[in-house]
A and B are shown apart, each in its own frame.
Chain A
Amino acid sequence: NAGVMQNPRHLVRRRGQEARLRCSPMKGHSHVYWYRQLPEEGLKFMVYLQKENIIDESGMPKERFSAEFPKEGPSILRIQQVVRGDSAAYFCASSPGTGEDQPQHFGDGTRLSIL
C-alpha cells in the first residue's frame, strides 16, 4: 500500500524557467494539500484540492503559482518564471476526507533549487 508519492525528489531550475511538481495521493484519498518548507522552518500551507476542485488556495502566491488535481492522474503544483526565492522543499499530503480526526499523510517532498 504505497504512501504519498512525489516526484521528482530533487529539481533544479534556472531563473525564469518553469517547475512542475507532481503528487500522487495514497490510494483511496481524494484530498490533497501542498505545503512549502524553507530551511529550519515549519511547513506553510499553500493549497488544498479535491478532485477537479481547488477548495482553499489562501496560502498560494497570487502570481506564478498554480495547482490542479485532475480527475485522472496526479496533482500538479506549477511554478512559472521561477525566482531564487522559490527555492524550498515542497510537500504534498493527502487524506481520505475532512473531519477532525483525519491526519494528513505526507510524501517525502520535492526539493526545488533555483540557480
Chain B
Amino acid sequence: SQQGEEDPQALSIQEGENATMNCSYKTSINNLQWYRQNSGRGLVHLILIRSNEREKHSGRLRVTLDTSKKSSSLLITASRAADTASYFCATPHYGNTDKLIFGTGTRLQVFP
C-alpha cells in the first residue's frame, strides 16, 4: 500500500483563501517532501522537511511534520489561480534513501 496518503483527494477554493492538505505515512522516515504537478507536466519540488523539524516555511508555503502521528500538512496561504495543480507528499523508502514513495495526491482548484 502507499506510504503516503493525502487528504483531501480534491479541494476547491477561491483566490485569496488558504488551502490545507494533509499527508499520512506508515513507516519511520528521514524526511518528507512535497511536490506540485501541473496538468500534463512533471513534478516540481516544493519543500523538504527533515524528521527532526516540526515546521518549515517557504514563501506562501508552510509545512508541518508530526512524527508521533506520522503526518504532515502543507498550507498554501493567500492562494492564487496559478496554484491550481496536484500536490503530492513523498517519503524516501525506509532503509533506502534513493527511491521516493508518493501518495495519491490532492487536486487543488483555485477559482479566480
Contacts and interface: CB of A to CB of B under 8 A. Distances in A.
A44 B41 CA distance: 16
Interface of A: 4, 6, 31, 33, 35, 40-45, 48, 55-56, 58-59, 91, 93, 98-101, 103-109
Given A33-B98, A42-B103, A42-B104, A103 B45 contact: yes
Contact of A42 (B44, B48, B88, B97): B88
Interface in B94-109: 96-105
Given A42-B88, A43-B102, A56 B45 contact: no
Interface in B1-27: 2, 4
B33 interface: yes
Nearest to B105: A42
A56 B41 contact: no
B103 A56 contact: no
A78 B48 CA distance: 32
Nearest to B3: A42
